[in-house]
Structure 1
């Protein structure tokens, strides 16, 4: 009687394992952890104020620049990246803060790639790249 019960169990286990196909390993840097990040660089320029943040939550992006909060959708599959529907709170922003925010939003909208390596998030585009570290803006 025990032998009769082990045959169906073994058959079921074999079928379950046969249904599992091996998956290709993820490309290095293509798994993007969700959470908050702070901007530390645009291209070769550093952002010492650490006053620009981004929150990645799957296909939703949100954050705060020096003057405006923002939100957008992300439609690419890493390492691809594409921002659509960027909206901001529309506050006036001038001076150094305005120049940084304008440059940041422009680069974010032009972006076509994303990777996460060694606790550094990099969003790349045809002109420049944005470099982030995990954390919150100041």
Structure 2
């Protein structure tokens, strides 16, 4: 009798996780899926807070939420290239560790020149690498 609730719970959990998975590649011939990602690393440093998110849209543009501010930008290069247009952000005050992370993140994102999706990990390359996993940022 207890198997039915366990099976139902397993199905619901599986469907919930599937909602976090990226979808089809954004550009024909690209292996970079669209959808939500969460930042897990900047350069050689991990980002354990999981408080930076990015969504890759079907047209290749990006948008997301850093520790304090929302951001968006058009992306004009064909993968594996990566070239952002003007990065637009809200202007909320951001200080301390959150402000340092946000500043470092926006600088790395603006200087990026390549993108790849391998083994379930998204990497945006440039002078400082950004590493993402599929999923959503952790809310405060």
TM range (shorter): 0.7 to 0.9
Equivalents in 1 of 2:62, 2:38: separation in Å? 13
Structure 1 runs (4+) deviating above 4 angstroms are none
Q: Which residue does 2:78 correspond to in 1?
A: 77
Greater Rg by CA = 1
Length-normalised TM-score, structure 2:
0.76
Q: Which position in structure 1 is the counterpart of 2:88?
A: 87
- Unmatched segments (≥5 aa) in structure 1: 1-25
Across the aligned residues of Structure 1 and Structure 2, the Cα RMSD in angstroms comes to: 0.8
Partner of 1:5: none
Counterpart in the other structure of 2:48: 48
TM-score w.r.t. the length of structure 1 is: 0.77
SS in 1 for 2:88: strand
| 1:31 Cα deviation after fit | 1.2
More strand by share: 1
Give the Cα separation in 2 of the matches to 1:91 and 1:84. Answer: 21
- Count of residue pairs the alignment pairs up: 109
- Structure 2 spans left out of the alignment, 5+ residues: 1-28
